[in-house]
Amino acid sequence: MALEDYRYYMETCRRCSVCKFMPLEKVIGYDRINVCPSISRYEFHSYCAGGRMVMGTALLEKRLDYTDKLLEVVYNCNMCGACDTSCKYSMDTEIIESINEIRNHCVDTGHTNPTLDKVISNLRKLGSMVPGAPAKRGEWADGLGLKDCTKEKVDVVFHVGCQTSFNKNMWHLVQTTAKLLQNAGVNFGIAGENETCCGGRAYQMGYRDDLLAQAKKNMGMIKKCGAKTLITGCADGYQAFKVIYDQYALKGDLEVLHVTEYLDRLIKENKLTPAKPVDMVVTYHDPCHLGRMGETYIHWEGREVIDEIRTLDPPKEYRRGTYGVYEPPRDILMSIPGLKIVEMDRIKEYAWCCGSGGGVSESNPEFSMWTAAERIDEAEITGASAIVTACPWCIKNFKEAVSRKGSHLEVYDIIELLDRAI
């Protein structure tokens, strides 16, 4: 797809401002109705999806140049997809795809963000989205005796992801996951030093070719090891393998599960039993790329029929955020004795972003932290003692925001709490 292919959507924006707010049916008060971090932080209409649609049309019409300001607006978006869900409550449009295509267009025409270029350069050299990491990718698994899926046949590939692999503070998450999988008797393996980035975050930044290159490497490895299932604890990785690879017809019939889906399944099959009480009140943060952005890609091939009105033949089913992964993480938490969940105002398909996506945490850490701090405020109001989530990028951002704010909140991955209960 090229930017031109999104012209219809961009030209038919109603400028109704719905993309700025949570779906209106769910508004229950004055506070926290905003869903778009970008316009909430920068205020000008340009920063919301509606503004970005106009910008896309203007780029096509060559009414705007690729100025520093344009690139500043383009890259100050977390690519969280909340606008897409809110718009699609009413309309048949492709909002986040259009926004992503604007970024692709910028990269294709050589108009990039220098910081993101460095990140991508590192990806190309080292296969990682965490530049300058002191650890080696597979080091976290030293001494665990896990199978190497690049050498042995396994049923399940456990893709760890860049953030967890290279951040020693997160190693316990994957080590715990591996232990839980072992205990449940799952025949799984890791790629260790041979694991490479999923490419999902590169895609969010507009580097489509790099996503495709990473996808080909990953799927080649998976094909070789014969696994039918891939699990990952990273929401970005999950969305990349499950949705984006599928969008580009690279996924094949690989089953992609987030670790919360897999563990929830094991709990429901009585292969794991959370028995020890964990007396805590927690609130759950839906990672964008596990929730609304994580629903299955729906292929559509057909023709656009422009008559008096525009219809599609055959009709297209739109991804509206309806079928994201919302319940498995909550089901796991609810299966833990003594643990109570209190919900934040913005949850599930209209959850507020943690701030780390879209390259923002690399290119504009201040904005990334501003976004995370907003979520920490929201979590604090619930009265919970901890915010729990299911993505290492969210964890990293929240921990930093909590530290900067001096918040009392603890930050956990679901895995940590499940481990305490088993």
Partner 1 sequence: MALNRNFYKALENILGPEYVSDDPVITETYANPFRQGLAAPPTFEAITLPDSTEQVQAIVKLCNQNKVQFKASSTGWLYSDPATPNCIKIDLRRMNRILEINEKSMYAVVEPYVIAAQLQAECMKRGLNCNITGAGSNCSALPLAAHVNLGHLSQSGSYGERNQLALEWVTGDGEIVRLGSLGMLDEWFCGDGPGPSLRGVIRGDTTPLGGLGVYTKAAQKLFHWAGPYTFPMEGVSPKYKPAYIPENFLVRYLSFKDLDDMIEAVLKIGESEIATELMCFNPAMMASNLATKNVEEEIEIYNRFTKSVQGPGFMVLIMGNSRGDFEFKKKVLARITEETGGKPLEEVEDPENQGGYIWRYFRETGSIKETGRVLAPQAGMVGGTDSFPLMSYFIKSCARVKEQLIKEGALFDDGTSPFMQSTEHGHLAHGEVLARASLRLKGDKLLEMQRGINKGSNEISIKGHFGMPQHVWGDELHDMYGPHASNYHLWLRKIKKTFDPNGASESSTYISAKDE
Which H or E run includes 289?
Answer: none
Q: How far is CA 354 from the centre of its chain?
A: 10
Short-list 234, 265, 288, 281, CA closest to 388: 281
In angstroms, what is the minimal distance from the CB of 148 to partner 1? 39
Q: How far is CA 186 from the centre of its chain?
A: 26
Q: Which of 3, 35, 55, 190 binds partner 1 (CB under 8 A)?
A: 55
Tokens of 261: 């889906």
β-pairing, 303-306 vs 310-313, is antiparallel
The verdict on 109 binding partner 1 (CB under 8 A) reads no
| Distance, CA of 75 to CA of 79 (rounded, Å) | 9
Stretch that binds partner 1, among 22-30, 258-266, 352-360, 414-422 (CB under 8 A): 22-30
- 3-state SS, residue 17: coil
Q: Which of 105, 251, 319, 320 binds partner 1 (CB under 8 A)?
A: 320
Stretch that binds partner 1, among 61-69, 144-152, 226-234, 366-374 (CB under 8 A): 61-69
Short-list 179, 242, 248, 259, CA closest to 212: 248
- By C-beta, is 147 or 320 nearer to partner 1? 320
Q: Which of 275, 323, 342, 403 binds partner 1 (CB under 8 A)?
A: 323
- By C-beta, is 70 or 173 nearer to partner 1? 70
* Contact indicator for 354, 393 with CB cutoff of 8 Å: yes
- By C-beta, is 301 or 307 nearer to partner 1? 307
Stretch that binds partner 1, among 163-171, 239-247, 320-328, 370-378 (CB under 8 A): 320-328
The answer to whether the bond into 315 is cis (omega within 30° of 0) is: no
Q: Which of 6, 23, 245, 351 binds partner 1 (CB under 8 A)?
A: 23
The verdict on 33 binding partner 1 (CB under 8 A) reads yes
Q: Give Cβ neighbours of residue 72 (< 8 Å, ≥ 6 apart).
A: none
Sign of the alpha-carbon dihedral angle for 320, 323, 329, 331: positive
- 3-state SS, residue 49: helix
The verdict on 249 binding partner 1 (CB under 8 A) reads no
- For tokens 């991804």, the residue is 319
Q: Which of 6, 21, 241, 367 binds partner 1 (CB under 8 A)?
A: 21
The verdict on 46 binding partner 1 (CB under 8 A) reads yes
Which DSSP category does 348 fall into? G
Q: Which of 91, 173, 197, 225 binds partner 1 (CB under 8 A)?
A: 91
Stretch that binds partner 1, among 181-189, 194-202, 305-313, 388-396 (CB under 8 A): 305-313
The verdict on 289 binding partner 1 (CB under 8 A) reads no
Q: Which of 6, 37, 77, 88 binds partner 1 (CB under 8 A)?
A: 88
User: At residue 306, what is the residue type?
Assistant: I
Residues found near partner 1 in the complex (CB under 8 A): 10-18, 21, 23-30, 33, 43-46, 50-55, 57-58, 61, 63-65, 67, 69-70, 73, 85-86, 88-92, 306-312, 315-318, 320-324, 326, 348-350
